[in-house]
Each structure stands twice: as structure tokens, then as C-alpha cells.
Chain A
Amino acid sequence: MGSLILFLSGGLFLGWSLGANDAANVFGTAVATRMVRFKMAAVVASVAVILGAVYAGSGAAGTLGRLGAITTLPGAFTVTLAAAISVFFMTRSGLPVSTSQAIVGGILGWNIYAGHMVNYTVLSKIFMSWVSSPIIAAVFGFILFYIMRFLIKRLHIHILRRDLYTRIAFIISGAFGAYSLGANNIGNVMGVFVPINPFPPVTFASGWGFSGVQLLFLLGALSISVGIFTYSKRVMETVGSDIFKLSPITAFIVVLSSALVLFLFASEGLHDWLVQRGLPALPLVPISSSQAVVGSVVGIGFARGMQNIRYNLLIKIGLGWIATPLVAGVLCFFLLFFVENLFLLDVR
């Protein structure tokens, strides 16, 4: 049991940092503008992340499994640890980083170390998703901006009532965003442990229960919740006041459009529905919520006539696609070498 917890700790650490950093993308502006209190944001985000991870997390996690099916606990531990360390140090250095990109880098590092062929079809699908997700978020931001502007012009809602509705909208869209974050990003935290899942299914007397994978995701989601409660407040205040100076309504548009993008790349139900009708469906891939947020801010900037667009952020996004997986991959390769030769553990 002790060794199991030790091996899962890499993923749990990654989950904690995801909760600390990415929850700010969902509720950051709402908390920083004091539209939603932190306690309320943390509770809503935690519950929604757990629901999303447990009930809709398998789609995006499955894609990571196809990129590299790690078959030993020490191997999975090393991959998640390498990703977590990369995220931690790159964040501290002020570099753009995403857990999705770090874990993919880690898995690629494992593939190379273990001598497995990299599945380039899956890899290209993942890379295309990273490139397309901020663009889709920008399109959503652009469209939602016009819809909101139209509604405000038409409905003549009193400033005070508008603020009240915006608060409610923040909570609902934040819950949706956190649900989508859980569904989309739980694969980063626990995806590599799925092929070697140590948990048996649990069924309660009423017949209701959890599969082994759901229990694994529940554990990962709990670590995300701990990250939200223990560290995200500071990050939320920074994100809300530093990255974008938006009005509450435009901040709501950012939250909603990035939540929609996360949902599109995570929902198996939507994916299957589109495929059944012969419509093009987006691949189920873990994407970066931070980049979705930046994408939607850019979309709003375009809708406002190219205002508030910070082009250096766009360059940083492009840098993140290459630099983060590279750093995590190289680090993973070396860590695997040490774990295998120093601790004599089977990582392949």
C-alpha cells in the first residue's frame, strides 16, 4: 500500500499543481474582481472537477494511453514526476507551461527510453489539438462577445441587475469550466496509471458504484481539489488582475468560451453523437486551459477591433507547444535512467 501511494504521488503532485494553477483559469477573474468569493469558487470548482473527472474523464485519458501504454507503476510514476517537476520549475521561471504538454513530453521520453515506437498518428492528433484549441477559443470569444453586446443593447438591464446576473453566470459557467477541466485534464494526472490501475471496482448495496478507473480518477480529482483549496487563491488573484483587465462581462465570455473548448475536446458523448451523424468530431485530447483562455481573450480583442491583444502571449503559446514537451521529455528520459539503474525498478 505504501509503495502504491509513493508511485501514485507523482500523479497526485501533478494534480495538485493543476488545481493550483488551472482553477485560476476558470474562476480567476471572478474572484479577482470580487464577483464571486474564493470559498464559493473553490467549492464549486472542486465539486465540478471531481464530477468531470470521474464521469467524463476517460475520453482524453484514453488518447494519452494510445500515445504510450506504460505497463509498470515505477515507469508511470517517473513520467508523472518528470511532468510535475517540469511544470513546477517552468512556472517558477515564468515560462508558459501546461500539464497537458508536460505529460505528453514525459510519455514521449518514456517511449524513447523504453525503445517503443512513437504513435505518430496520435501525436499529430494531439499537436493539432494544441494548435487548434486556442483558435477555436478565439472564435467562441469573438461570437460570444457579439451575442452579449447584442443582448445588452436590446435588453436595457439596470447596471445592478446586470451585475447580479453576471455573478450567477460566472458561477454556472465556472462550474461548467471546472467540469470540463476535470474531464479534459484528469488524463494528465492519472492517465498513465490507467493500464496498470491498481484499484478494483467498488459496488455499493444500491447497485451504484465506481469502476477501478473511476476510483483512480477520483483520487486524482481529489488532489486537484486540494490544489484548488491550498494554493489557487493567490494564482487567481494574479490571473484576474494581471493577465487581463476585462470587465466582468467580458471575463465571463472568456470563462465560457474556454470551458466550451475544454468540453469539446473532452466529451465522449458529443464526440460519439457527431460521429454517428457523420459530422466532423474533434479528437478527445487533453489541451491547455491557459491557452484556451488566451485564445478567447484574443477573440474578444478582435471583436473589439484589435484592442487589448498582447502579441507576446501568442508567441509564448507557440513556444509552449515545443519547449514544454521537450523539457519534460528530456527530464523523463534521465529520471527513468536513474530510477532503473539506481533503485533497480522496472520502468519499461
Chain B
Amino acid sequence: MSRLFKQTAYLVADIDTFLDNISKAGILFGLALKEYLEDEPDRFHTRLDEIAELESDSDDLRREIRHKLYSKMLIPESRGDVLSVLENIDNVIDTTKKIVFQIDIEQPKICESLKKDFQELVTTSQNALDFTVKAARAFFKDSDIINDFVHKVYFYEHEADKIEELIKRKVFSSNDVTELAERMHIRDFATYVATLSDESQAVCERISVAAIKRSL
């Protein structure tokens, strides 16, 4: 029995570390994009490396959690839901890495008149991610307050969609960007950044369903 207590304690710690990584990735994502917009390539690359390392660590951790949940016969009734929540959250950190790598490869040129809007889009997406991690923590410890976070994620996702649309409208009507290729590049960049909030919303939907299934 004491072995079961120990295994449970290790697994709880693993899940906490996993969620910490996601949260940290959100902060680094915000900083990386801020530094890119402020034209700080060296600092941007440092953030990119940090995000890549975090993503890799999180993958290892997720695999370890899955292995422990199945091999140690823990939470047999709802381990499928728990794993599904964790795997969905893992998609969020994957998305942050993909966005940052995409920027590094494509180097989109953001004109001054759009930088403020992009910064706002990044902050909004980052907020969605932040509240997703809070919702996930609530799923594990206090399911009564999940909705407090989930509705905020929905709000920020909606806001991100609005800013994304605004940027697209501006870029095609502005005289600051004249080349069609550049316009389309910036449009795609706006779409990439907004996918983070879409992913966050998808995770929250999964968390809500899992929480209903776990309710008394």
C-alpha cells in the first residue's frame, strides 16, 4: 500500500511539472514574439531554443505519465480522460514551438503600423493559454472552479479571432504593405499566432467533458 502512495505522489509531481512546463512555454512564447517584433534576433533565438527544450521535456514527461498510469493501474476508471486532457494540452506547447519555428524560418516582415495589433494578438493568445493551464490544474484539484477559467479561455479565443480579422483587413487596405506576397505572408502569420488560442479552446472543451464525467 505504501508503494501505491509513493507512486501516486510521484505521478502528482510529474503532472504538476508538466503543467508548469506548459505555463512556462506560454510566457516564453510571449517574450519570443515581443523580441521578434522589437527586432532582437539573438534574444528571439534564445527563447526559441528554450521553447524547443521545454517541448521535448514535456513530451518525455507525458510519455512517462502515460506509462505510469497504465503499468501501475492508477485511476483505472478515468485514466483515459486524464491522458486525453494531458495529450490535448501537449498540443498547445507543440503549437507554440511550431509558431516560433515558422517565424524563424519565414522571417515575416511586420510593418510598424501593425506591430501593436500583433503584440495584442500575442498577449490575447498567451492569456488563453494561461487560463487553459489554470483550468487543467482545477480539473485535477478543484473541478468546481473549472468553468471560471474555461469561460475566460472562450473569451480570449473570441478576442484573438477579432484581432486576427482586424490585422487581415488592415494589411490588405494599408499602403504600408504594397506587395501581395508580403500581404499574404502577414495574413498567414496572423493566422498562425491565433491558432494558439484555438488549441487552448479545444483543450478546455476536453477538460469540461472530462470534468462532467468525473462529477459525483
Is A157 in the interface zone, CB < 8 Å from B?
yes
- Do A34 and B216 have beta carbons less than 8 Å apart? no
Give B contacts to A, CB under 8 Å.
1, 4-5, 8, 11-12, 15, 73-78, 82, 139-142, 144, 213-216
Q: Which of these, B1, B12, B142, B144, contacts A160 with CB under 8 Å?
A: B12
- Do B77 and A148 have beta carbons less than 8 Å apart? no
- Do A157 and B141 have beta carbons less than 8 Å apart? yes
Identify which of residues 125-173 in chain A touch chain B, using a CB-to-CB cut-off of 8 Å: 145, 148-149, 152-153, 156-161, 163-164, 167-168
Q: Interface residues of A: mostly helix, strand, loop or mixed?
A: helix
- Do B12 and A247 have beta carbons less than 8 Å apart? no
A-B contact count (CB 8 A): 53
Across the two chains, which residue of chain B brings its CB closest to A248? B77
- Do A158 and B216 have beta carbons less than 8 Å apart? no
Q: Interface residues of B: mostly helix, strand, loop or mixed?
A: helix
A168 to B75, CA, bound (A): 13
- Do B142 and A156 have beta carbons less than 8 Å apart? yes
Which chain B positions have C-beta within 8 A of A304? 216
- Do B144 and A153 have beta carbons less than 8 Å apart? yes
- Do B77 and A159 have beta carbons less than 8 Å apart? no
- Do A247 and B141 have beta carbons less than 8 Å apart? no
- Do A34 and B8 have beta carbons less than 8 Å apart? no
Q: Which of these, B8, B76, B214, contacts A247 with CB under 8 Å?
A: B214
Q: List 9 A-B contacts (CB under 8 A).
A: A33-B76, A34-B76, A160-B8, A164-B74, A167-B4, A247-B77, A248-B77, A250-B216, A304-B216
- Do B74 and A34 have beta carbons less than 8 Å apart? no
- How many residues of A are in contact with the other chain, CB < 8 A? 23
- Do B215 and A247 have beta carbons less than 8 Å apart? yes
Is A249 in the interface zone, CB < 8 Å from B?
yes
Is A35 in the interface zone, CB < 8 Å from B?
yes
- Do B214 and A164 have beta carbons less than 8 Å apart? no
A247 to B78, CA, bound (A): 9
Give 8 nearest A-B pairs by CB, closest first.
Answer: A34-B76, A163-B75, A156-B142, A33-B77, A164-B8, A156-B141, A159-B140, A160-B8
- Do A249 and B216 have beta carbons less than 8 Å apart? yes
